[in-house]
Structure 1
């Protein structure tokens, strides 16, 4: 049934419940034939006529338009607000439950915009909980619907990110390029810069370093032209990652520090916390700050993460990065604890971060002479990497695994890991 059919049916139903004829409902403002056409779905009433009919029928305008009463609409909007708040506060499981309960409400069926809001929220909560496959499924379903331009970009950002985090890099790139490189090039906005930044990270993971450098420069120019904090942070944060990976350490730190400065002034606590970890990671790998200072920065970030709505994967990244800094500063017990914590926050297997955590554990146990345990953890890297498609990060992790296996005396395992690294690199 069309919207006009449904509106007409509701008017007819309420009119009969009130014991009115079409002529009685119409008099004196409308003709009974016009009311008949509306009830049969052959005419779409204007907003003014709908409001008039709602008054004459003593029902809410919301019910005639959407099939729900004003009270039911208020309940739905309140439930959606609570679900969003739970997600913003980092209560991912509760947010997921609230969004699912809301989507089970039959009154939401005819409320397209609110239903799409709830489904998008469920996708974000599911992604934050680490269930990337289900998040992708929800986003793909949403993408097939008629969406507002802004919602369409938001869905593309989330889908590109979820594909990238799942190491499905070809699909991540396709999503970003389809939105940004359509038949008509859209004017840059904050949301499109964020989509571009997400696409940029996919280029980087795919080892398309030349394209990444070129696109990073394009995003920086777009962000500077817009002049908005949101676009400046997104462009500089991701340009920093590109600079670090391509060997431009000082440039990487400069971009990261600019992003951090803008985020501190304008950003939300969750994004400030995530940015602090990104900056620490950049400093640690560029060698521009001593490892102790970076370690202390990451230790302080734990409390910050606990007080904000960072996702499970965000917390896993923090703990693995902290494990690296503890390892570099010689506190091996703390390094082990954080590596295990970070790994255990991740979905089981199929995640490069989990592989990196196990690899670090292998190195730590090898450093203290517990070689058998070191080999066990290093061998476990295969389970985390094997399900993933080839990528720059996977190749790098396979190569590091091979080196660690050699150091631990596992020659056979090292040869296999070197082969996997070459295969990932396309050699």
Structure 2
């Protein structure tokens, strides 16, 4: 039987609607029921059958759903359409306006007890908070969305779980982000809950934390599985996100042309879908690709475009992260003063709890610039700060290089024992490609 209120509430609702329409109990009951039955129903002493409620709803001129639940007809459908509108608003980069829409929709869905719509609104609020860089709020909203869907199958809960993992990742909690994503992948694959959309979302999301942790083999495997799942997925936004994520593993493997092609596919899909935040991220990744390939002029152009787009959308955290990579390109182009000014301008927006890997990157680059200017004391301070941030985040991918920089600086200033300690620390993080202490790799999807 469909969801409905208890008999007492339904009875009072029937009585109120009957009185408003000026009908007697006899008129409402005819021809199928008796006035006594209507009287008993209005008193809440009988649980009406669906057939009886449909008869009474027709006599009262209201929808069955409205009589049974108190919700206006088509309310859930209307809410879902408005949730889609809020999603479009967020896609255009108007995160603050989208948050206002989602907040209103959440209140409306809660007032009518629509749990699925409440979960969707909370998911949207989490995505808005991610875009504005409010990672604590993002995590809370994703957790609340998951709780609303506690009884739903795992594939339904995956978007909220992925959002929670991304908020932990951006906060510098790389290992925990991997744990959340790997656990969900395992549960889907081992439990026979093969859902291509859910798996593609998870494999795409786990690539970035794997790369930052130096687990390149696992990142490459996740990319391989994502590409294999792609033909089974129809959502173009999901496919675009996959192409953008997979490009990072291709860059690491030196497959620059393939990475550029993958980013081109992602960017074209995002343009068609008018998803500006993700399109900005494609410019960001393209800038990174060109920087890795030594094409610094194109890298600067792409990164400036990404920074301008994120800044226009008030995506503060992403703007600051792009600025760090732009500063690296500027430094390599001989514009060290401009790079240092840019880095000092964003350091206040980055921390161990907010963009930890990029915060470390900023300190590392400021250390290099200080060392170029023969200010070894300032350089050492920045290197030590960066080392602390990377160790806390577990970003083994960058730790070894930083320890080498610090060790070289200490050796040049005559502190041989301290330099050896720095080198040893770096060697401890130079594990074989793809080996981590994460435990067994996730189960393979049944492709």
TM-score normalised by L of structure 1:
0.78
Q: Within the alignment, does 1:313 sit opposite 2:317 as a pair?
A: yes
Picking from 167, 179, 182, the partner of 1:171 is: 179
Question: Aligned partners of 2:88 and 2:374: how far apart in 1?
Answer: 48
137 and 205 in structure 1: CA distance in 2 versus 1, 3 angstrom threshold: same
53 and 195 in structure 1: CA distance in 2 versus 1, 3 angstrom threshold: farther
Q: Within the alignment, does 1:28 sit opposite 2:31 as a pair?
A: yes
Q: Within the alignment, does 1:13 sit opposite 2:15 as a pair?
A: no
TM-score normalised by L of structure 2:
0.75
369 and 204 in structure 1: CA distance in 2 versus 1, 3 angstrom threshold: closer
- Give the conservation status (yes or no) of the 8 Å contact 1:163–1:171: no
Residue number in structure 2 paired with 1:126: 129
Picking from 115, 118, 125, the partner of 1:115 is: 118
Residue number in structure 2 paired with 1:362: 367
328 and 37 in structure 1: CA distance in 2 versus 1, 3 angstrom threshold: same
Picking from 185, 189, 194, the partner of 1:186 is: 194
Q: Within the alignment, does 1:273 sit opposite 2:280 as a pair?
A: yes
80 and 375 in structure 1: CA distance in 2 versus 1, 3 angstrom threshold: same
- Give the conservation status (yes or no) of the 8 Å contact 2:200–2:230: yes
89 and 414 in structure 1: CA distance in 2 versus 1, 3 angstrom threshold: farther
Instruction: With a CA cutoff of 8 Å and minimum separation of 6, indicate the structure with the bigger relative contact order.
Output: 2
Secondary structure of the 2:50 match is coil
Q: Which moved more, 1:70-79 or 1:324-333?
A: 70-79
Deviation of residue 272 (structure 1)?
1.9
Deviation of residue 328 (structure 1)?
0.8
65 and 207 in structure 1: CA distance in 2 versus 1, 3 angstrom threshold: farther
Residue number in structure 1 paired with 2:326: 322
Secondary structure of the 1:380 match is helix
Question: Aligned partners of 1:257 and 1:101: how far apart in 2?
Answer: 37
Question: What are the ranges of 5 or more consecutive residues in structure 2 without an aligned counterpart?
Answer: 433-447
> Matched residue pairs, number?
418
Residue number in structure 2 paired with 1:213: 220
- Give the conservation status (yes or no) of the 8 Å contact 2:66–2:72: yes
Question: What are the ranges of 5 or more consecutive residues in structure 1 without an aligned counterpart?
Answer: none
41 and 425 in structure 1: CA distance in 2 versus 1, 3 angstrom threshold: farther
Picking from 365, 370, 374, the partner of 2:379 is: 374
Deviation of residue 169 (structure 1)?
3.7
Secondary structure of the 1:181 match is helix
Pairwise mapping of residues 25-424 of structure 1 onto structure 2 (< 5 A)?
A: 25-30=28-33, 33=37, 36=40, 39=44, 42-43=47-48, 45=50, 50=53, 52-54=55-57, 56-57=59-60, 63-69=66-72, 84=87, 87-93=90-96, 95-96=98-99, 99-100=102-103, 103=106, 108=111, 110-144=113-147, 145-147=150-152, 151-165=156-170, 166-167=173-174, 168-178=176-186, 180-189=188-197, 192-224=199-231, 229-230=236-237, 232-249=239-256, 251-260=258-267, 263-264=270-271, 268-287=275-294, 290-307=295-312, 309=313, 311-346=315-350, 349=353, 351-382=356-387, 384-388=389-393, 390-393=394-397, 395-396=399-400, 398-399=402-403, 402-403=406-407, 405-406=409-410, 409=413, 411=415, 417-418=422-423, 420-422=425-427, 424=429
Question: Aligned partners of 1:115 and 1:61: how far apart in 2?
Answer: 23
- Give the conservation status (yes or no) of the 8 Å contact 2:166–2:177: no
Deviation of residue 323 (structure 1)?
0.9
Q: Which moved more, 1:154-163 or 1:316-325?
A: 154-163
Secondary structure of the 2:8 match is helix
Q: CA offsets per residue over residues 308-333 of structure 1, 9 Å max, x none?
A: x5743322222111111111101112
Q: CA offsets per residue over residues 121-166 of structure 1, 9 Å max, x none?
A: 1222223333434433432343242347764232233233334333
- Give the conservation status (yes or no) of the 8 Å contact 1:201–1:238: yes
Q: Which moved more, 1:309-318 or 1:95-104?
A: 95-104
Q: Which moved more, 1:318-327 or 1:213-222?
A: 213-222
Deviation of residue 393 (structure 1)?
3.3
- Give the conservation status (yes or no) of the 8 Å contact 1:349–1:383: no
Question: Aligned partners of 1:103 and 1:35: how far apart in 2?
Answer: 37
Deviation of residue 185 (structure 1)?
4.7
Q: CA offsets per residue over residues 79-115 of structure 1, 9 Å max, x none?
A: 8577546533434455446545654569535122221
Tell me how large the CA RMSD over aligned residues is.
Answer: 4.1
- Any runs of at least 4 consecutive aligned residues in structure 1 with deviations exceeding 6 A, and if so which? 70-79
Q: Which moved more, 1:409-418 or 1:336-345?
A: 409-418
